[in-house]
Amino acid sequence: MLTGAAMADPLTDAEARFGALHSYQVTLRSTDTAGRQQVIRYAYRKPGWVRMDFEQPYRGAVLVYAPDTQRVRLWPFGLGHWPTLDLAPGHPLLRSPQGHRVDQSDVGVLLGEMLALRERGSATPLDDADVAGRPATGLEITGPPRPTTDGVHRYRVWMARDTGFPLRVDSFAADGGLIESVDMSDARIDAPLPERFFHP
């Protein structure tokens, strides 16, 4: 059960809940300002294992990030198909159009960015809503009036009321234009992810 303080501060509560989970699986469905869409089956297990199975674009491609070696294995044409690439996580081939890195792609990083933006700016609660049938708490986080860097100036996020997990996140630039909209409404918390899942 949430305490009064946690209910009053859903973002801090969401970060605490992320700190307590061990793994999650989600289908990332994103659309950017140019209308480009991505659909990725994403899996995360602490202390930082990541696996992405691409459905759109690059259908069939698979990548795995290993935190122990800090390297990424990429199968561009699917598991069992040549070639297999071994890359650094910052390699340009692995960056999303928004500049996201695979080793900084988990929800914990996103929540940290939101908290940092709120510290410099403000947060406003939104009306509660259902996201894909799941009750959610909404929050709009806005940076300082005069942003000093490019990138996200405002987040609009809806977090599941039962888990605190972000179900939908919209990010905006300082001029108000949409950067990216991400749907994560089918998230499964502490999904069983065996060792072999990250060593295909």
What is the pLDDT averaged over residues 72-91? 95
Domains, the chain, with CATH or none: 4-198 (2.50.20.10)
Strand 49-56 relative to strand 37-45: parallel, antiparallel, unpaired? antiparallel
Check residue 156 and give its pLDDT: 97
> Distance between terminal CA atoms of the chain?
39
CA 145 – CA 153 distance, rounded (Å) = 9
Check residue 4 and give its pLDDT: 34
CA 184 – CA 110 distance, rounded (Å) = 13
Check residue 98 and give its pLDDT: 75
For the chain, helix (H) and strand (E) counts, in that order, are 3, 12
Tokens of 96: 């999303």
What is the pLDDT averaged over residues 65-87? 96
Check residue 49 and give its pLDDT: 97
Band (163; pLDDT cuts 50, 70, 90): very high
Per-residue pLDDT of 17-70, as tens digits, reads 999 999 999 999 999 988 899 999 999 999 999 999 999 999 999 999 999 999
Check residue 150 and give its pLDDT: 65
Per-residue pLDDT of 97-153, as tens digits, reads 777 899 999 999 999 999 999 999 999 999 989 999 999 999 999 999 877 556 899
